[in-house]
Amino acid sequence: MATADAGVIVAAPRPRFRLRLRLREWLNREEVLGPLFVTPALLLLLVLVAYPFCMAVYFSLSDAFIGRPSQFIGIRNFVNLWESDAFRQTFQNAFVFTSIAIAFKLVLGITLALLLNQQLWFKRWIRGAVLLPWVIPTALSTLGWWWMFNSLYSVVNWTGIALELMDPPGPNWLGQKYYAMTAVIVVNIWRGLPFFAITILAGLMAIPKELYEAAEADGAGPVRRFWYITLPLLKPVLGIVILFSTIFTFSEFNIVYVLTNGGPINSTHLFATLARQVGLETGRIGEGAAISLYLFPVLMFVVWAQLKSVRKEVL
């Protein structure tokens, strides 16, 4: 159908084109487009995070056991855990493992970020190489470390003996209590260091160079510039990095499972590995869920306190 206006004939839009125009106008509305983009992420969070978490809470408050109906028992699982020597050892292991690993990652991460912020040859290649421990699948890289720490053909022992730092045949890294914990911490530091270094490097690159030039003109040396300029301006970044690393380190599973599986004699068990052993291998699902959620209130408080501190620094 056509209409005439001042001698010009205009064709009426086709029904399909008209529908496409209406659809485009409808999608251009913010109240429609926003929820449409958010819905897939929300579904993923509900299916992969919210539902498993709710099920874990339900199991932790019940006497769930494989092959029989469960009954609600309240917080009895959480209370009874302290009667287990393995859980008490795991509780201690988790705090020792996390505190030592984060302290080393923080110091080494700042040092590595300061080095990467300098003018270097092949800077992009070096930054890419630094990311390799973070990019490589955890289980695959940990198998390499398992081979290096193996008591029969340990590359670590061979190097230490060759440099006369160890007496032959060297320590049994994965078969002795303190050596096993040291090995697990070393691998965790190696894997988590790129996250610290690259994130802190991004914070360093955001600091205006004029501040350093003014401080240098006033006679401030490298140490004073780091202490009074770099470190205060990095506090928000360090707060976020430490927050995420604390959560990741407390919930570490792959490294411990591949290297030691919690041994020897529960000396390297963390909450995730002990929860798997109790919940899946022995069938006590309720007790395993309680182990996995034991530090959830503590971590929630840490998240709240850290975010509050970062907000104060930013504002």
* 40 found inside a domain: yes
263-89-189 Cα angle (round to 5): 65
**Reported pTM:** 0.83
Domain that holds residue 34: 12-51
Dist CA 305 CA 315 (whole Å): 15
* 58 found inside a domain: no
* 69 found inside a domain: no
Co-location of 140 and 289 in the same domain: yes
DSSP for residue 135? H
Co-location of 132 and 187 in the same domain: yes
Co-location of 47 and 152 in the same domain: no
Dist CA 31 CA 313 (whole Å): 34
Co-location of 142 and 275 in the same domain: yes
Co-location of 120 and 198 in the same domain: yes
Q: What mean pLDDT is reported for the chain?
A: 85
State the helix-helix crossing angle for 138-149 and 155-162, rounded to 10 degrees.
50
Higher pLDDT: 7 or 64? It is 64
Co-location of 289 and 174 in the same domain: yes
**For position 97, what pLDDT does the model report?**
95
Co-location of 249 and 113 in the same domain: yes
Co-location of 155 and 16 in the same domain: no
* 126 found inside a domain: yes
Mean pLDDT of 145-151: 88
* 78 found inside a domain: no
Q: Is the pLDDT of residue 1 over 50?
A: no
Q: Is the pLDDT of residue 313 over 80?
A: no
Dihedral sign from CA coordinates of 90, 93, 99, 105: negative
**How many Cα atoms sit within 13 Å of 286 on the Cβ side?**
22
